[in-house]
Structure 1
Amino acid sequence: MAELFSSQIIKSSKEGPNGLIIAGIHGDEYEPVLAVMRLIKKLEGRLISGSITLVPVTNRNAYFSGSRVGEDGLDLARTCPGNSNGSITERVAAKISELIKKADFFIDMHTGGNLFEISPLSGYMLHNDPSVLQKQREMAAAFNLPIVWGTSPELEGRTLSVARDGNIPAIYTENGGGAYRTEGVEELVDGCENVLELFGLLPQQKKKKKAMVNIEDDKPGSGHLQVMHPSPDEGVFIAKVGLGDFVKEGDGLGYIVNDKGEKSTQVLAQQSGMVFLKRAVPMAKAGDALAGILPIKK
């Protein structure tokens, strides 16, 4: 049987935490994959304690077809903890879940892939263990992206839900999507190194902190991007807003053009705040996510 994915372990001669950084859960998210590849080369010989396991392409089956999902049609980010005797995605989910359970801390990096553009953010599940929650807050802040977002602990099937169940501090990142961004790779490399410094695997360095917005939202389903502002009809979504725009509840985000060339439905903001998610592929089916808004004041 072909190898599901490969990993690289970099160790220090001194005892310390064992971290895990992964990318390529979805096959159309490229900046995180390149960031982990760069970390493999950059971290060799630099750790002052502990160890780090790096997985650049977790979902090889999806990656080599440039697809979000594998050939079995399953989304790896909804399949954990998986099944070692199941389909290709279920087997990958089982293998990556075992790695997560062995880690002392965990980072899972994403973009919006082909479908979405997403403002740079670090996220985490709101954990019921105060010590785990606090460490996740510190990790997300250390990653040094402009938005820090704590969301519902109830979502299942994720890598982070495996970490949650194991009381392992874990964050995920979203950064870009749509068109490839070279600068996104460096932002992710820097962010990972910052977290390794937090856990003592790298020496502390003074770095300029970005201005951050911190949001925590424990409403059921918060953090589930694929259900935000679902398209009311099938057609082409013409967006009237961009990432970073501030809107009020009821403002127009855009509209759907049906197959007759008519503006069939206006898409209205469901809450006030900042647009952080926008569909990159204009064609949408009914129910597809079109946009996301964070409750951030201007």
Structure 2
Amino acid sequence: MSEKDVLDILGEKVASGKSATVSFNVAKLHTQNRIDVPVIIERSKKPGPTVLITAGIHGDEVNGVEIVRQIISKGINKPKKGTIICVPIINVFGFIHMDREFPDGRDLNRVFPGTKGGSLASRVAFKLVNEILPHADFVMDFHTGGADRFNAAQVRIVKGEKSLKELATVFGAPFVLYSKNLSKSFRSTCNKLGIPVLLFEGGKSFNIDTTITNTGVNGAKRVLHHLGMLNSKFKVSQPKKSCIFVSDSKWIRANYSGMFKPTVKINAYVNKGDVVGNITDPYGSFNHFVKAPNDGYIFNINESPIIYQGDAIFHISTALIDD
């Protein structure tokens, strides 16, 4: 077997046709207990691309972790050709404590590519970028809406990348959102390294939603099938509706504090002036109707029953692309 048939990752050598679970040693707890993140590797004997599937960059984004868990448990990650590397939980500290950030208070998705001797979050980012990411030809990164904001299933890509547009269409989420790469994010770092990435968003923190997980798992299957990597025992279903490409959007923010109740459902199309929710006080003396500022799709809804003036309560499309 030639040297290039062996994957040398995190100090372990994994030959083609083999399976392995290697340890991504993050750090130690203050009790000196090691924290090791399992990295699940499946390799076919047939050569092909290497796909990296990640979740849990934010520790509270359980829905993304559940998608990758299902991909592994169902054997979807066992490729017909090439290699699939799964990292179900990157921010294991946050996952343990059910917290978005690292113990140092930093958002891991704002410190990439990290530094070897930096903060704890920065060190984890550095190790991920230098010891796992170089092996990847393509990345699928699974996220969830923050706090009580429920995201419609969506794939985020940058404009002008034809290959990403094709893969996003194949994935088949209800929405494809064109969004810029945020500075020091994982997606931005992948982009700078020339590694295409599909970022999936769906659901909300501390929550597992069956519709969202099904969309994520089925989307991953479609992409792997498109790449010729999906085992033939899996059936691939086409999405019921074509993707809606959103080129621009904005947040509808609360004009008042109070008790909040949305009256539209996620994925709904609304017209300008339609009532989409209402804000009341606990005493029955105030009722403010929230109206759509423009025609568009509602693809994020704040499900918190209590809101404050200025809180983001809906995300609505403002410009679509006819694809």
The TM-score bracket by the shorter chain reads 0.7 to 0.9
Answer with 175-184 or 65-74: which moved more: 175-184
Gaps of 5+ in 2: 1-26, 29-34
TM alignment of 1:64-79, pairs within 5 A = 64-79=96-111
CA distance in 2, matches of 1:211, 1:71: 42
Q: Is the 8 A contact 1:18 1:50 kept in 2?
A: yes
Whether 1:59 and 2:91 are equivalent positions in the alignment is yes
Which residue matches 1:177?
204
Give TM-score scaled by structure 1 length: 0.81
2:168 equivalent in structure 1? 140
**Residues 235 and 95 of structure 1: CA distance in aligned 2, closer, same or farther (over 3 Å):** farther
The correspondence of residues 73-92 of structure 1 with structure 2, limited to 5 A, is 73-92=105-124
**Structure 1 position 123 matched with structure 2 position 153:** no
Pairing partner for 1:271 from 272, 276, 294: 294
Aligned equivalent of 1:112 = 145
On the 8 A contact 1:140/1:171 being kept in 2, the answer is: yes
| Structure 1 counterpart of 2:190 | 163
Cα deviation per residue 1:149-185 (whole Å; 9 max; x = unaligned)? 22234x3232211121122111111222265323433
Aligned position for 1:213: 243
Return 107-116 or 181-190, whichever deviates more: 181-190
> Counterpart of 1:202 in structure 2: which amino acid?
L
Whole-Å separation in 2 of the counterparts to 1:261 and 1:170:
49
Secondary structure at 2:199's aligned position in 1?
strand
CA contact (8 A) 1:252 1:267 kept: yes
Matched, 1:187 2:215: yes
What is the aligned counterpart of 1:245 among 263, 268, 274? 268
1:124–1:151: 8 Å Cα contact kept in structure 2?
yes
Answer yes or no: is the 8 Å Cα contact 2:76–2:221 preserved in 1: no
1:57-80 deviation line (CA, Å, top 9, x unaligned): 111111112222233332223332
Q: Residues 175 and 270 (structure 1 numbering): CA distance in 2 closer, same or farther, change over 3 Å? A: same
Q: Which structure has greater strand proportion?
A: 2
Change in 2 beyond 3 A, CA 1:260/1:108: same
Tell which structure's C-alpha radius of gyration is larger.
2
For 1:104, the aligned partner's letter is D
Of 46-55 and 240-249, deviating more is: 240-249
1:24 alignment counterpart? 56
Aligned CA distance change for structure 1 residues 167 and 239 (closer, same or farther; 3 Å): same
Q: C-alpha deviations, 1:199-240, integer Å up to 9, x for none?
A: 2222565533331233152x6xx6xxxx82344455443323
Please, which moves more after superposition, 52-61 or 28-37?
A: 28-37
TM-score under structure 2 length normalisation: 0.75
Q: Is the 8 A contact 1:35 1:189 kept in 2?
A: yes
Larger RCO, structure (CA 8 Å, separation 6 or more) = 1
What is the CA distance between 1:56 and its match in structure 2? 0.6
Contact 2:71 2:77 in 1 (8 A): no
Contact 1:255–1:263 (CA<8 Å) still a contact in 2? no
Show structure 1 runs of 5+ residues with no match. Answer: 128-132
Aligned to 1:283: 306
What is the RMSD computed on CA atoms of the aligned residues? 3.0
Whether the 8 Å contact between 1:240 and 1:253 is mirrored in structure 2 is yes
